[in-house]
Amino acid sequence: MTQVSSLTHAISINPANGEQIGHYPFESASALDAALSRAAAGFRAWRSKPVDQRSQLLIALAQALRDNAAAMANMITLEMGKPITQARGEIEKCAQLCEWYAEHGPAMLSAEPTLVEGGKARIEYRPLGPILAVMPWNFPIWQVLRGAVPALIAGNTYVLKHAPNVMGSAFLLREAFKQADFPEGVFEVINVTPDGVSTAIADPRIAAVTLTGSVRAGMAIGAQAGAALKKCVLELGGSDPFIVLNDADLDEAVKAAVIGRYQNTGQVCAAAKRLIVEQGIVEEFTRKFVEATQKLVVGDPLASDTYIGPMARFDLRDELDQQVRDTLEEGATLLMGGKKAEGPGNFYEPTVFGDVTDQMTSFKQELFGPVASIITARDAAHALALANDSEFGLASTIYTRNVELAEQMAGELETGGVFINGYCASDPRVTFGGVKKSGFGRELSHFGVREFCNAQTVWLDRR
């Protein structure tokens, strides 16, 4: 039940009942070579295509996603357990992403004139080439497209190596690209072993590498990309602080904290994992948060009213359960949940810890599942110190009516994003990425477009 790959196949297992729903043979060395050749040949043609034509193809992709939304959302739910309503929302968000970059992407690639004393100079944004993307299972379509779409509008081609438990979703996405009439080689899907990934990274046809995944995976892929002297973007784990100060709108803060922690069954790198609450309101916040969490519907991910489904893999549930038990042994107060759900499937009870300290497992480690930790802060300064006391630095949230104080705290928070009176979002209008062990490089906004560009100086008549 825990296996997502064998020596010969990637395996998809329905986490709601443990049934195998697909197995996909790993590709041979010759098949990988052919895919890289198509990506390289496709790049030569794609980079020459006018950017407005690339934009039109993105609009066609948005339509293809909507045309196939039911099948794609259903596959996401079957493969990794995302509640179906959230899976449908993921597909629509991807369609909107394509449309946004179709409209705004071309301007991000415009040449930038610069003042020089002799002649004329400008900076051009040129594509790098085929990008190898190693992607995770938790947002099987969104995680891929939020990296792919900016890279494609810039003129790069994309080679996707997806997580083995969501290969069905990967192949449906490939079909959407075909339906949208993207040229051959612009978007390739490879199903290979870790050795195949290493081969692709070292191959001269791959220009750069991007990975979304664990710190361990990021260290491995980053080391290989570095050895090959290739640009690498890493979006890794997080243990995001969610700060609530005494003067916050408590009801809004609780509502945002529940969504921020439990959406996608808590399997989000930028989830609100550490709820840092000022001591004057911690008791009331805790009561309201537990009450709201108790109302969340846990169950069949194909049911439209389900908010929390099964965790994606049985081994990950076991790992989370061990972290929960360690935290309890360290002295945290269990307010609800705290164990695997009974019955079939890979369900874990929504869990809330109180009295968590900075020495406990749930504070120091990333808990990738439906577990919230409430930490008491003496004041705003202490909340800031607790927030920064982490090896991660992906995103953070502050709830307070004192916007001036929040802005000051934002300047001192060691995270890639700060959200004031609103929970974290991955949105094409703003950049996304982290610092510390949450990785480096940026996705989305104009940074996502230019991340895999050669910023080229062109200087005419320099004297």
Distance CA 248, CA 400 (A): 4
Classified as helix, coil or strand, 170 is: helix
Give the residue among 293, 65, 85 at the shortest CA–CA distance from 177: 65
Helices 84-108 and 51-67: angle between axes, nearest 10 degrees: 170
Whether residue 117 lies in the annotated active site? no
Distance CA 215, CA 213 (A): 7
Distance CA 265, CA 307 (A): 8
Give the residue among 188, 214, 222, 258 at the shortest CA–CA distance from 27: 188
φ, ψ (nearest 5 deg) of residue 7 = -70, -20
Can you name the residues that pair with 123 across neighbouring β-strands? 112, 457
HEC letters along 202-261: HCCCCCEEEEECCHHHHHHHHHHHHHCCCEEEEECCCCEEEEECCCCCHHHHHHHHHHHH
Catalytic residue among 94, 98, 269, 453: 269
| Cβ proximity of 105 and 450 under 8 Å | no
Can you name the residues that pair with 22 across neighbouring β-strands? 12
Catalytic residue among 79, 90, 99, 235: 235
Residue 145: other Cβ atoms inside 10 A: 27
Residue 21: other Cβ atoms inside 10 A: 14
Classified as helix, coil or strand, 429 is: coil
Q: Could you tell me whether strands 371-377 and 272-278 are parallel, antiparallel, or unpaired per DSSP bridges?
A: parallel
Whether residue 94 lies in the annotated active site? no
**Which residues neighbour 37 within 8 Å (Cβ) at sequence distance 6 or greater?**
205
Beta strands in 145-216 (DSSP E): 157-161, 187-190, 208-212
| Cβ proximity of 221 and 233 under 8 Å | no
Helices and strands per DSSP (H, E), number in the chain: 15, 20
Look up residue 252 and give its two tokens: 């809004």
Residues known to be catalytic: 235, 269
